[in-house]
Structure 1
Amino acid sequence: MLQKTKKFIDSIYFTNALKVTVAAVIPVVLFSLLGEFRIGFTIALGAFFTYPSDIPSSLKHKVNGVLFTAFLVSFINLAINIIFPYNWIFYPFLALLIFMLSMISVYGHRATMTSFSGLISISLAFSNINEGWAMVEHAGLILAGGLFYLLISLIFYYVRPNRYIELQIGECIKLTAKYLKLRGDLWTVKADRKLIIEKQLHLQVELNTIHENIREVLIRSSITTGSSNQNRKMLLVFISLVEILELALSTSFDHNKLHQKFDDHPKVLLTYQNLAYNLAANLKQLSKSLKNRKIYSSKYDLINDLASLNHAITDYESQVERNSASEGVLMLTTMLQYAEKQVEKINIISRAFTQKSLTEDLKGKDKDLEKFLAPHYYPLSTLTQNFSFSSAIFRHSLRLTITLLFGFIIGVFLPFQNVYWILLTIIVILRPSYGLTKERSFQRMIGTIIGGLIAFGILYFVHDNRITSVLAILCMLLGFSFTQINYKVSATFITMYVVFIYGILTPNISDLVQYRILDTLVGAVLAFVANHFLFPTWEFLNAPIHLKKSIAANQEYLKEIALFYNKKGTIPTAYRLARKNAFIEIGNLMASYQRMSQEPKSKQKQLPQIYKLVVLNHSLLSSLASLGTYIQSHKTTTASKAFNIVVETVESNLEIAITILDEKDLDDNFIKKDLALHFTALKDIRERELKEGEDTNTEDFKLKLQEAQLVIEQLVWLINLSENIVKATKTLKTN
């Protein structure tokens, strides 16, 4: 329990919550002592409004983002107070303001959080409408609160400048270890491989998100402030983690075939599974060492595990007849080579934590890293292109605008105590995704009811304002801490915090609790109904778009692999970018499937077909990564004519699938194009090419034949996968 509490306190969620709590509590306490509670509370509101925009990034972008948000929320509050008395202009202005704030989400995560801050400031502006000079004073205090929050955030940053990236890298190591553990589970006899693969796909979504977070902070910080030793260390660890994931994805085994072949020799597979589990356990230990800032010392002897596997392979070879052992030995050797490469990558990470010099390990890996970042510019064209019902953000912006206006009108014309709480509930709950809105609606309602009842019960027995104040601060801290972890718990603590604050300020606390619960229920119901009936964005409409992007990304990755195989040399940046994009798009496709599975059954159109295409694209990416990894790690021969024919055929199949998804007419010659060469023919062609002027008895020739067999096996698998993708795509579009 103590360990879990320590881990929670050290988490980035708790740190962020602590920043906003400190920035809100200090002005309230300070000005309360001076007899000016209202001033302190308004400054605290400014900190609260600005806090969401403080997302992980380089210091420069952090400061710019928080400053922009602080000025924005202050301006919004002033504008609403000025225009509020004039109904004929107020309602059109409010609608336009809400809509445009929602639309800026097209510019990415930071813009989305700034949009959220602006919308929250709109809702709470109605809690205190001012006139005359008081309007300017109120807006100025909100701005002061935003600037004060920035100061607190910078203090936290300089006290522990590297802590965020350490925790993110630690979490990335942990998730990568979990991925390797799932690979080890595949070796269990009668394992539910379909379920394990689905877990891996879900994990891929999480890994994509954390990879992007790390790139944004780690690489952009290197560009803007230069590369420190700590930065280089974390960069080396991150690059190695990406390579471990690619290597794991690229090395796939036919587990059924292997189990059948080694049923009489179970020791060799058990030895490998033990090694696979120890790879994962070693990474998990590295993660704990980094998060706890302890000196890393491995509990696992991976070199000894490799030796045990090598010994098991030798035993197998000695026990089986030579002719029948060759195929099995080749399979086991491939497994051994995969494990050796993973141990090498893990050792690089270990050295990063135990040695000062990283020059050799990082050499060449930090080239052109800025190209892996999303550009930070905000062209007007991005906004205007989204003014269409085909844009999910445009539809969400319209939905949110209409729902908030409707909620405002209900709050004004019906006997509700605080219209702003209805608006706040709608803003917090209403998400572009149906599944998330539905989940948050129920969690918000449950959390509000539970929090209200608990807080009311405490206030019934506790009448000391000092105790109530301490409880309010603790609830605020915990409420913000759990926002990303457990929204129901977060809603419970935030409700308790609000009730405690009003318990200090007003005597009719029972009325307050009743109104707060009623306001929340109304807001939650409006949000849920709007998301279901008002310009709904069902995922079955977006899934083909993500599918097309994933196929196109795999197609581009294949082109880069073929180009590298033909030209040789060093791995170009374009190759690494294509690989990164393919990984991201398969994660986006899986995320689309996840959202679709949370929607009403009537809207889960062709869900099995979508999942089939997710798995096929994941298998295609695995095969491509396998081919690319082999070419990178082996001295290969000149690319054969057969290789290029197959690559062209696979590219053609993927292009057909994209054309079908675009609902375009296919050219007859395009459709009829087929591969006349099968595995045997390809192998024969390659053998004839290799034998020309070559001594067939040398070890070098045998290695070339092994290369031919391994590469051609992957090519035939690529053909089968691409053809299955075309068939599945046709089924998807015709049903």
Structure 2
Amino acid sequence: MQNKLKTHLITTELFLKGSSFYRGIVLTVAIVLPLAILNITNLFEFAPAIALGTFLNAPSDVPGSLRRKINGILISILLTLLVSFIVFVTKPYFILLLIAIAIISFLVSLISVYGFRASLISFSGLLAIVLTLAVEKTDIKAIVLHVGLLGVGGLWYLIVSLLSNWLFPKKDDDQLLSDTLQLTGEFLKIRAKLLTKQNKREKNAKKALILQTQISEKHETLRESLLEGRKRSGRSFSNERRLLIFISLVDIFELALANSLDYSKIDSIFGLHKSHLIVFKKMNKVLGNHLIALSELLIKKGKLPNLEQLNKTFEKTETAIQDYVDVVTLPEARDGAIALRNLQDYQKQLLQEVKAIRRVLKKVKDNTKASLKIKTSQQFLTSQDYRFNILLQHFSLKSPMLRHALRLSIAIVFGFLLGSLLDLKNAYWIVLTIIVIMRPNYGLTKERSKNRIIGTLIGAVIAIIIILITKNTTVYMILAVVSLTFAFSLIQQSYKAGAAFITLNIVFVYSLIDPNAFSVIQYRVIDTIIGATIAIVANYLVFPSWEYKNLDAVIVGVITSNGKYLQATKALYHNKEENNLNYKISRKEAFLAMSNLNAAFQRVTQDPKSKQKESALIYDMVTLNHTILSAIASIGSYILNHKTTSASKEFDTITESIFNTLNNTASKLENNKITKLTTEKETAQAHKRLQQHYENLSQKRDMAIEAGQTQIDNKALLNLQEAHLISNQLLWLKTLSTNLTNAAKKYKSVFN
């Protein structure tokens, strides 16, 4: 009980000190301050429009580079002004208004094709429709004045946002780093469970895929924020510290992926000796918990956690290896001992990265890792293409974004028409619910609808209780401000909680205007349920876009990226210094492509069961691609972090064969001709020679043991590890690429 209470207190403290709550306070201040000032100066008639303009243009202010933030808010201001003016002008003519809403909602929705920030600008444009419907202005002068004041509100929010960024410039970066540390810690703990929990391996593997996607998304945002910020303001100690933490997090992520073991082989080797794996499992868990503890320090500050448990657990891994060798005995124990040694080596590297993060948090100056040149760093940024041609490419019913835009505009028009015909009070709330809830994906729309309804009901019940207890308008005013802050703070973290606070805010604001607050609550609940129902039904029936139909390009993308990653790894083996940068860029692209596939598969699982066509086959494709990525990362990570021998001809032959297999698989999925056939005989001979090399080293070691040399020297150990890893990983990669080809053939026959 005490532990649960302590956890809740820590969670609450992290939230109150985090960037989400800070952003909620900033937006609340930006809205409330003009209302207060203009009320004091007897100019309150201008205040509501300015407050609406502030609220309308806040969504695009999300973590990222300052330049993109400013551009995003300015574009949002122009869009909301245009939308508001058109809706105002057409409002007196109902049919014309419906046509305007349909066209605007369709075109504004399509802006989302330009990425996440663009989708938030699009949301502001859609929100402008609703807020304009809520305001009564018929005179052209009044309309122009109102629209102008909306622009003032938008510019006011931009000023407040820039000021808040100046006061706490690294609030978002620290929150992002904290979130990434926490997710990476959870990822390591899940991977620990994969090692021994055979019966729960598939369940844990799916959890790992979700975490992997979330981590990759955080990495992308951090790259934009840290590297763009570095370009703009140059190098500083605080910037370099955050960059050092980020680089260590990327390395930890790659190390974790690189250590995706062939678990069937591990089960085979350690069948009756799994007890020797327990300490390695514990080491991963301890490392994960340590990263989570460090994540909290970035937000709430405090002392670094003790290193004693980490060091002691790592020391036990050496004992575990020796115990295994003593029990099984050499040479039978060699494969298992090398596997444990590789696992220990991986955990040692993780430990070094964790200690590097600790040094940064101690503010020890160490720029060895942050020596990335600005020109070089820009190559790691994913640039968004804003050409008009991108928009034109989506003008096809095959495009999920076009289908979503059509679906959304039809749902909005239908919702507004239904509310008007039924003469519902505040019928625009139906439209608001549709805009907020509806997403291109059915599953997410359904989930948001459920959370929206539950949140609204919770908010309504709380509001009723408070209204029954007190009729004090001062209390309503305070609660309106407080609920507004928490609504903005929680909407991204917990949509259900955010919806509850939004309902509270609306009820208390209306309670200040209309004494009959219960009617407001009643209509709020009814309109929310109607809007949510329309959103779900529209997603299912109107131009539905089931995820399994959109997977081809995503699967081809990850296969192609994995092929390029393999080629970059091959080049790295030949020359580390010359090919290091290209390897890391290829690695980033491969990780992002895999993240996209993971996210696509999650969307498949959210669709109705009847629309999850061949989900088991799709999952096989996802896991095969993920395992291929992990196997390549395993080779690349070993090459990067160890002194290796020269790359052999056999290595080149096998990697070329695997690359061709991956390329041919992608070509088949795209209905293209096979580019190059692989020579299986030559590949088999190359692998036989690699295996023979490992066996020769093993025999040499056996002879040394027989001669009484029980302690192996470091060079011989590294040579054995390298030969074992390269030989096994290449054989595994070859098998995986062949399995992927077979799965792709089946996939193609089913979906075409």
TM-score range, shorter chain: over 0.9
The residue that corresponds to 2:113 in the other structure is 106
Change (3 A) 1:189 1:568: closer
Determine if contact 2:50/2:149 at 8 Å carries over to the other structure.
yes
Query: Which position in structure 1 is the counterpart of 2:452?
Result: 444
CA distance in 2, matches of 1:189, 1:99: 49
Q: Does 1:403 align with 2:411?
A: yes
Paired residue for 2:585? 577
Question: Partner amino acid for 1:681?
Answer: K
Which position in structure 2 is the counterpart of 1:644? Answer: 652
1:279 is matched with 287
1:522 positional shift = 2.2
**Do 1:184 and 1:276's aligned partners in 2 also have CA atoms closer than 8 Å?**
yes
Quote the residue 2:65 is aligned against.
58
Partner of 2:733: 718
Structure 2 counterpart SS, 1:358: coil
- When structure 1 is superposed on structure 2, of 376-385 and 529-538 the one drifting more is 376-385
Amino acid of the structure 2 residue aligned with 1:124:
L
Task: Please report the TM-score for the alignment, with normalisation by the length of structure 2.
Answer: 0.91
Give the letter for the 1:409 counterpart.
L
What are the residue-to-residue correspondences of 1:487-506 with 2, within 5 Å?
487-506=495-514
Change (3 A) 1:624 1:263: closer
Aligned counterpart, 2:213? 205
Q: Which residue of structure 2 lines up, in the alignment, with residue 515 of structure 1? A: 523
**Displacement, 1:145?**
1.6
Contact 2:14 2:296 (C-alpha < 8 Å) held by counterparts: no
- Corresponding position of 2:545: 537
Does residue 32 in structure 1 map to residue 39 in structure 2? yes
* 2:180–2:218 CA contact under 8 A, matched in 1: yes
Write out per-residue CA displacement over residues 414-460 of structure 1, whole angstroms, 9 at most, x where no aligned residue. Answer: 31222321211111111111011111222222332332343234324
Name the amino acid aligned to 1:650. Answer: I
* C-alpha contact (below 8 Å) 1:185/1:191 kept by paired residues: no
CA displacement at 1:189 relative to structure 2: 5.7
Q: 1:161 aligns with which of 169, 175, 192?
A: 169
Distance 1:59 1:552, change over 3 A: same
Partner of 1:116: 123
| Counterpart AA for 1:44 | A
One-letter amino acid of the structure 1 residue matched with residue 561 of structure 2: A
Of 438-447 and 678-687, the range deviating more from structure 2: 678-687
The answer to which of 43-52 and 315-324 deviates more is: 315-324
The 1:460–1:708 alpha-carbon spacing in structure 2 relative to 1, beyond 3 Å, is closer
From the superposition, tell whether residues 680 and 138 of structure 1 become closer, same or farther in structure 2 (CA, over 3 Å): closer
Write the mapping of 1:54-133 to structure 2, written as runs, cut at 5 A. 54-86=61-93, 90-130=97-137, 131-133=139-141
Contact 2:548/2:612 (CA < 8 Å) preserved in 1?
yes
Match of 1:693 in 2: none
Deviations 1:52-80 (A, max 9, x none): 01111222222222222223322322232
Matched with 1:369 is 377
Between 1:635-644 and 1:601-610, the stretch displaced more is 635-644
Q: Determine the C-alpha separation between the residues in 2 that align with 1:331 and 1:577.
A: 29
Query: For 1:680 and 1:276, how far apart are their aligned partners in 2?
Result: 32
CA distance in 1, matches of 2:292, 2:518: 50
Q: 1:413 to 1:727 in 2, by over 3 A?
A: same
Matched, 1:351 2:359: yes
The 8 Å contact of residues 649 and 675 in structure 1, kept in 2 or not, is answered as no
CA contact (8 A) 1:348 1:361 kept: no
Query: Residues of 1 paired with 2:523 and 2:327: CA distance?
Result: 79
The corresponding residue for 2:4 is none
Task: State yes or no: 1:239 paired with 2:247.
Answer: yes
Match of 2:616 among 608, 612, 630: 608
Instruction: Evaluate the alpha carbon distance shift between residue 249 and residue 34 of structure 1 in structure 2; reply closer, same or farther with a 3 A threshold.
Output: same
Amino acid at match of 2:38: F
Aligned to 1:631: 639
- State which drifts further: 341-350 or 669-678: 669-678
Question: After the TM superposition, which of the residue ranges 361-370 and 492-501 deviates more from structure 2?
Answer: 361-370
8 A contact 1:31–1:40 mirrored in 2 = yes
Is the CA contact (8 Å cut-off) linking 2:84 and 2:129 kept in structure 1? Answer: yes
Identity between Structure 1 and Structure 2 (%)? 36
Q: Distance in 2 between matches of 1:21 and 1:484?
A: 16
- Total equivalences in the alignment: 730
Moved more, 422-431 or 436-445: 436-445
Aligned to 2:709: none
Q: State the shift of 1:259 in Å.
A: 6.0
The structure-2 alpha-carbon separation of the partners of 1:674 and 1:425, relative to structure 1 and needing over 3 Å to count, comes to farther
Maintained 8 Å contact 2:554/2:596: yes
Q: Residue 473 of structure 1 aligns to which amino acid in structure 2? A: V
> Which residue does the alignment assign to 1:9?
16
Note the C-alpha offset of 1:316: 4.3
SS of equivalent to 1:186: helix
Matched residue of 2:477: which SS? Answer: helix
1:227 CA drift (Å) = 2.1
- Name the amino acid aligned to 1:21: T
* C-alpha separation in 1, matches of 2:23 and 2:391: 30
Alpha carbons 1:650, 1:718 under 8 Å: kept: yes
Give CA deviations for 1:110-162 in whole Å, capped at 9, x if unaligned. Answer: 11101101110111101113112111111122112212222222222122111
CA gap of 1:252–1:375, structure 2 versus 1, over 3 A, is closer
Whichever residue aligns with residue 194 of structure 2, its letter is L
Taking a change above 3 Å as real, the CA distance of residues 673 and 390 of structure 1, as seen in their structure-2 partners, is: farther
Contact 1:679 1:712 in 2 (8 A): no
- Quote the Cα distance in structure 2 between the aligned partners of 1:275 and 1:2: 27
CA offset digits 1:445-501 (Å, max 9, x no partner): 233233234323432442221111111112222222221122222222211211111
Partner of 1:332: 340
Taking the TM superposition and a 5 Å limit, the aligned residue runs for 1:220-299 are: 220-254=228-262, 258=266, 268-299=276-307
Alpha-carbon contact 1:437-1:528 (below 8 Å) kept: yes
Kindly state the Cα deviation for residue 701 of structure 1 after the two structures are TM-superposed.
Answer: 7.5
Where does residue 422 of structure 2 map in the other structure? 414
- The structure-2 alpha-carbon separation of the partners of 1:687 and 1:519, relative to structure 1 and needing over 3 Å to count, comes to closer
Could you say if the C-alpha distance between residues 394 and 225 of structure 1 is closer, same or farther in structure 2, counting changes exceeding 3 Å?
same
Kindly state the Cα deviation for residue 94 of structure 1 after the two structures are TM-superposed: 3.2
Task: Report how far residue 4 of structure 1 moved.
Answer: 3.0
Unaligned runs of 5+ in 1: 691-695
Is 1:49 the equivalent of 2:64?
Answer: no
Of 356-365 and 618-627, deviating more is 356-365
* CA distance in structure 2 between the aligned counterparts of 1:187 and 1:587, rounded to whole angstroms: 22
Distance 2:298 2:239 in 1: 14
Distance in structure 2 (CA, Å) of the matches to 1:201 and 1:84: 48
Matched-pair contact (CA < 8 Å) for 2:21–2:489 = yes
- Following the alignment from structure 2 to structure 1, what is the Cα–Cα distance between the partners of residues 694 and 193? 38
Distance 1:194 1:684 in 2: 31
Is the partner of 2:331 in helix, strand or coil?
helix
Question: For residue 469 of structure 1, what is the aligned residue in structure 2?
Answer: 477
One-letter code aligned to 1:494: I
Correspondence 1:560 to 2:575: no
Cα 1:213/1:256, change in 2 over 3 Å: same
The match for 1:479 is: 487
2: CA distance between counterparts of 1:77 and 1:118?
9
Aligned partners of 1:480, 1:705: CA distance in 2, in Å? 57
Could you say what secondary structure the match of 1:362 adopts? coil
Closer/same/farther in 2, CA of residues 27 and 706 from structure 1, 3 Å limit: closer
Q: CA deviation at 1:678?
A: 5.7
Which of 154, 170, 186 is equivalent to 1:146?
Answer: 154
Unpaired segments of 5 or more residues in structure 2?
Answer: 1-7, 698-702, 705-711
Aligned position for 2:189: 181
**Partner of residue 746 from structure 2, selected from 688, 713, 731:** 731
Cα distance in 1 between the residues matched to 2:454 and 2:327: 64
RMSD of Structure 2 on Structure 1 (CA): 2.8
Matches of residues 380-395 of structure 1 in structure 2 within 5 Å? Answer: 380-395=388-403
1:571–1:341 CA distance, 2 compared to 1 (3 A)? farther
